[in-house]
């Protein structure tokens, strides 16, 4: 959510930002918000005037009563009562107007970075850098599900019977590899100075509306029937929500946190759930990183965070590249975002395995997260980034470390988490 002061002082900038995001249907929200803001301020002014008059009139009544001017005192009392009735109306109207204004403001997208390329969708994202040389082996790389099945590492049929489409069982060495990657990612981030956390996996609606836009919520979140609880789509939701309605001392900042959680997603929309495979599913696990910092430090942390993900993948011998997300591919709360994509030897192209985002103060403004220092108080800046998210990471791992005989090499950095195992051997 943007600052109302920005909307008042430079509405054209807000309109141009909406146009850059190709959300022309939201342009009327600017005038609607300005009108509601003007009405709210007028009501507040009238209310303040009536409150001030109430004190003056109360003193006047006392003076008239002492002077035995009963009729005049009664007339002033009538005026006080009329003012009180109007003040009650104003307070109710102000509350309603403020709620409507907040609802409109929450639909206006955050101002995007000057570094963000203008484009309609993810097809217009811009490649920035590549890390490690992508390779294509001299043998055919099977589909990832075939690799998993040959390793006797997955059972989709049973998952369909127990849970439906979009779920899976991981088994044996593959399940251990999955856990090993997450454990390695956890320790990798702890080594970077981040504090490890395991957050709640359900959050209330006021946290949901604070951490994401309405469009995202509808397409992602599972609601618990009969309760004000939602299953998290990523641990960022509950991790940022932890600091809702708090004022942090600048000396505490930055807060650098890394969290593990399962993630639950409807995956509604154009992509949907895969019929065969584990690239897009309803349930997965993820190691996340979150930073809450002073406004002037968020761009520095943005660059540092996506570099951590790149470093992690490179340490496991997986080639990656970074893509700067274009304006039309940014969710409404994002100021700037970069996708990290891993190389797929089978497809001979890159695919997304993580995303790093700077939300400036948009998320903190919704949740009421402030920082206070010698120069006063301001809304903090929040950032989030995927450290690693199996099973997408598993797909990249298996394809890039597959041998012609179907075995899969385990990089040295993962072997301590695999009991010293150096290679996964096909069982089928």
Q: pLDDT tens across 190-232, in order?
A: 999 999 999 999 999 999 988 887 677 777 889 999 999 999 9
For the segment 155-168, the average pLDDT, to the nearest whole number, is 92
Checking if the pLDDT of 428 tops 90, the result is no
17-57 pLDDT, tens digit per residue, is 999 999 999 999 999 999 999 999 999 998 888 887 777 77
What pLDDT sits at residue 275? 57
CA-to-CA separations, 306 to 105, 113, 158, 358, in angstroms, rounded: 29, 16, 37, 11
Higher pLDDT, 428 or 417: 417
257-305 pLDDT, tens digit per residue, is 999 999 998 876 545 555 577 888 899 999 999 999 999 999 999 999 9
Least confident of 75-89, 151-165, 385-399: 75-89
222-223 and 230-231 beta bridge pairing? antiparallel
DSSP state of 79: H
Find the angle CA(358)-CA(361)-CA(367) to the nearest 5 degrees.
115
> In whole angstroms, what is the distance from residue 2 CA to residue 205 CA?
21
What pLDDT sits at residue 50? 83
> In whole angstroms, what is the distance from residue 385 CA to residue 397 CA?
20
What pLDDT sits at residue 61? 67
> In whole angstroms, what is the distance from residue 406 CA to residue 412 CA?
19
Query: For residues 326 and 126, is the Cβ–Cβ distance under 8 A?
Result: yes
Q: What is the CATH class of 122-424?
A: alpha beta
Query: For residues 113 and 336, is the Cβ–Cβ distance under 8 A?
Result: yes
Beta-bridged to residue 369, according to DSSP, are 246
Find the angle CA(336)-CA(3)-CA(124) to the nearest 5 degrees.
25
Find the angle CA(34)-CA(371)-CA(355) to the nearest 5 degrees.
80
327-353 pLDDT, tens digit per residue, is 999 999 999 999 999 999 999 999 999
Distance of CA 13 to the CA centre of its chain: 24
What's this model's pTM, rounded to 2 decimal places? 0.89
Mean pLDDT score of the chain, rounded to an integer? Answer: 92
What pLDDT sits at residue 165? 87
- What's the topology of domain 4-105? Helix Hairpins (1.10.287)
What pLDDT sits at residue 48? 86
What are the sequence ranges of the domains in the chain?
4-105, 122-424
What pLDDT sits at residue 218? 73
Beta-bridged to residue 126, according to DSSP, are 324
Checking if the pLDDT of 58 tops 80, the result is no
Checking if the pLDDT of 15 tops 70, the result is yes
């Amino acid at each position: 959510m943007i600052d109302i002061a920005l909307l008042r002082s430079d509405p054209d900038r807000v309109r141009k930002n909406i146009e850059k995001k190709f959300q022309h249907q939201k342009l009327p929200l600017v005038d609607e918000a300005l009108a509601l803001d003007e009405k709210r301020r007028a009501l507040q002014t009238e209310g303040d005037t009536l409150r001030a008059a109430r004190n003056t009139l109360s003193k006047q009544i006392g003076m008239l009563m002492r002077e035995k001017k009963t009729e005049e005192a009664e007339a002033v009392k009538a005026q006080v009562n009329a003012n009180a009735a109007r003040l009650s109306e104003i307070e109710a109207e102000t509350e309603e107007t403020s709620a409507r204004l907040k609802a409109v403001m929450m639909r206006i997208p955050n101002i995007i970075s000057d570094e963000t390329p203008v484009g309609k969708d993810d097809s217009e994202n811009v490649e920035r850098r590549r890390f490690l040389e992508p390779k294509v082996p001299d043998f055919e790389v099977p589909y990832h599900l075939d690799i998993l099945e040959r390793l006797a590492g997955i059972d989709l049929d049973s998952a369909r019977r127990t849970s439906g489409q979009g779920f899976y069982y991981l088994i044996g060495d593959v399940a251990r590899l999955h856990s090993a990657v997450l454990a390695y990612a956890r320790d990798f981030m702890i080594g970077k100075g981040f504090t490890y956390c395991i957050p709640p996996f359900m959050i209330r609606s006021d946290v949901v509306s604070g951490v994401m836009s309405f469009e995202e919520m509808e397409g992602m979140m599972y609601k618990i029937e009969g309760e004000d609880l939602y299953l998290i789509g990523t641990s960022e939701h509950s991790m940022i929500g932890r600091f809702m309605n708090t004022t942090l001392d600048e000396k505490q900042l930055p807060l650098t946190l890394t969290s593990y959680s399962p993630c639950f997603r409807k995956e509604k929309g154009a992509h949907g759930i895969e019929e065969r495979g584990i690239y897009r599913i309803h349930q997965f696990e993820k190691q996340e990183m979150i930073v809450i910092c002073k406004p002037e430090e968020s761009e520095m942390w943005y660059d540092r965070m996506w570099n951590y993900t790149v470093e992690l993948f490179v340490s496991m011998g997986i080639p990656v590249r970074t893509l700067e997300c274009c304006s039309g591919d940014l969710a409404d709360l994002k100021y700037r975002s970069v996708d990290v994509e891993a190389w797929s030897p089978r497809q001979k192209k890159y695919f997304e395995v993580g995303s790093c985002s700077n939300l400036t103060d948009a998320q903190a403004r919704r949740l009421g997260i402030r920082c206070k220092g010698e120069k006063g108080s301001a809304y903090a800046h929040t950032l989030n980034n995927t450290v690693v998210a199996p099973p997408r990471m598993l797909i990249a791992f298996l394809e890039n470390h597959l041998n012609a005989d179907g075995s899969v090499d385990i990089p040295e950095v993962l072997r301590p988490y695999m009991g010293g195992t150096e290679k996964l051997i096909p069982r089928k």
